[in-house]
Amino acid sequence: MPGPRVVVKVGSSSLVGPSGALAAERLGLVAAEVAGLRAAGAEAILVTSGAVAAGLPVLGLRPGAVTLAEKQAAAAVGQGLLMDAYREAFGPLGLEVAQLLLTRAELESPRRIGHLRRALTALLRRAVLPIVNENDTVAVEELRIGDNDTLAALLAVVAGADVLVLLTDIDGFYDQDPRRSQRARRVDVVESWTPALRAAAGRAGSGLGTGGMRTKLGAARIATAAGVETWVVRTAPGVLGAVLRKEPVGTVFRPHPRPGPRRDVWLRYGAQPRGRLILDDGAVDAVLGRQASLLLQGVTECRGAFAAGDVVELATAADRVIARGTALLGAPDLVRWLTRQERGLVRHVRVVQHRTMVMAGEGLDDGVEPRQG
């Protein structure tokens, strides 16, 4: 039996030296830590930042002063440099590495997720370390995940991980920015989510990365909702072994005591809605009260260009989103059925299946866990 499956995310600030270039000693430390996980019997997946940071010096560019096209160019140059550096770091440790570049599209549909999961499983069975990054060169806005903390959390969900570790340059989650306040105190264990916790996240701390404690908190929210224990720890010798042994390092976010199905977590956080259906009051009551399948007769308006199998939002007449679900009909077919319905020709046609639906609770985008049906 394989040991726990661990997704480790490392940010640019943990890989790049003061000169702005990749630092071999820093990559070596990350490599030694991940190899230690493997030696302890765990399965490891590495999510890495650093491609843009590695490519900027080559192009003569500075962080924070680049256009989107220049950032994409830097990613194209830097990704190869980053993988070469990882091969040099992991090679002496006896680990082969494989590159997986993802956009949101790979985390959108069950079919693509299935392909991704099978590829990861095949690599892990052959003792090859998957190294994952967002494909910044081609990821246009609607396909962007945006930050690798979120990517790591979504990957932990779809890959069936047991533990998510977010490596950073700060030794955990603090109630204030420890670099600005001497009164800052580390939160060692998070078991519940409060507005104060969200307010403490602050903004990104490094000019090199796109993340920060706010994105790490969001990533922990996603992962723990699916039952994945999440740690925020400083990159340091022995830290991943300490996490496996559950020693008091950094901040641990406990998994939700009643985690929702991982598909529901993906539907809530990973899927990008392609359309919106406006419901009448009866359909709203049926969805919220019974999580019933949505019937055609409850739909008053269809928005967006979505296909069968795409995720759509369900909203009230006041345009308040109450749920997400997978459409059984594409928009053109649904519009035709709605036209027939107006003529009294049809009534009982299922539009969204309840088994693929998650409730909004207080809002799908505010971090509230899916309500359990």
Which helix (H) or strand (E) element contains residue 216? helix 213-225
Token pair, residue 227, equals 């039952």
Look at residue 364 and tell me whether its pLDDT is greater than 70.
no
Residue 372 forms part of a structural domain: no
User: What distance in Å separates the CA atoms of residue 267 and residue 158, rounded to the nearest whole number?
Assistant: 11
Nearest-10 crossing angle of helices 110-125, 148-158: 80
pLDDT band at 372 (very low <50, low <70, confident <90, very high): very low
pLDDT at 207: 39
Does residue 22 share a domain with residue 125? yes
Q: What is the CA radius of gyration of the chain?
A: 22
| Listed residue (235, 219, 248, 291) closest to 31, CA to CA | 235
Does residue 170 share a domain with residue 130? yes
Nearest-10 crossing angle of helices 68-90, 51-58: 110
Residue 14 forms part of a structural domain: yes
For residue 197, report the phi and psi dihedrals to the nearest 5 degrees: -65, -45
Look at residue 115 and tell me whether its pLDDT is greater than 50.
yes
Does residue 258 share a domain with residue 282? no
Look at residue 271 and tell me whether its pLDDT is greater than 80.
no
Does residue 207 share a domain with residue 95? yes
pLDDT in tens, 17-33: 877 778 899 999 999 99
- By residue range, what is the domain housing residue 352? 273-359
Q: Which residues pair with 7 in a beta bridge?
A: 45, 164
What percent of the chain is predicted at pLDDT more than 90? 40
Does residue 282 share a domain with residue 257? no
371: helix, strand or coil? coil
Does residue 199 share a domain with residue 127? yes
Buried b (16+ CB within 10 A) or exposed e, 301-318: ebeeebeebbbbbbbbee
> Measured between alpha carbons, how far is residue 254 from residues 53, 212, 232, 373 in Å?
32, 20, 12, 22
Look at residue 266 and tell me whether its pLDDT is greater than 90.
no
Residue 100 forms part of a structural domain: yes
- 291 Cβ partners below 8 Å, 6+ apart? 354, 357, 359, 373
User: What distance in Å separates the CA atoms of residue 108 and residue 106, rounded to the nearest whole number?
Assistant: 6
pLDDT band at 287 (very low <50, low <70, confident <90, very high): confident
Whether 168 contacts 26, CB under 8 Å: no
Domain end residue (candidates: 237, 265, 293) = 265
| Listed residue (246, 241, 250, 179) closest to 216, CA to CA | 250
228: helix, strand or coil? coil
CATH number at residue 175: 3.40.1160.10
Residue 369 forms part of a structural domain: no
User: What distance in Å separates the CA atoms of residue 314 and residue 325, rounded to the nearest whole number?
Assistant: 8
Does residue 11 share a domain with residue 130? yes
Residue 204 forms part of a structural domain: yes
pLDDT in tens, 31-84: 999 999 999 999 999 999 889 888 988 898 887 778 888 888 999 999 999 999
pLDDT band at 369 (very low <50, low <70, confident <90, very high): very low
How many domains, the chain?
A: 2
> Measured between alpha carbons, how far is residue 190 from residues 197, 234, 302, 362 in Å?
9, 17, 41, 21
CATH number at residue 286: 2.30.130.10
State the amino acid at position 334 in one-letter form: L
Which pTM was predicted?
Answer: 0.81
Residue 10 forms part of a structural domain: yes
Residue 366 forms part of a structural domain: no
Does residue 250 share a domain with residue 344? no
Q: Which residues pair with 302 in a beta bridge?
A: 277
Does residue 187 share a domain with residue 211? yes
Does residue 329 share a domain with residue 181? no
- The most distant pair of C-alpha atoms in the chain lies apart, rounded to whole Å, by 72
Does residue 350 share a domain with residue 211? no
Does residue 324 share a domain with residue 295? yes
Token pair, residue 151, equals 């990517």
- 45 Cβ partners below 8 Å, 6+ apart? 5, 6, 7, 8, 120, 124, 129, 130, 132, 155, 159, 161
Token pair, residue 142, equals 């609607």
Q: What sign results for the dihedral spanned by CA atoms 69, 100, 233, 224?
A: positive
In which residue are the tokens 């052959």 written?
126
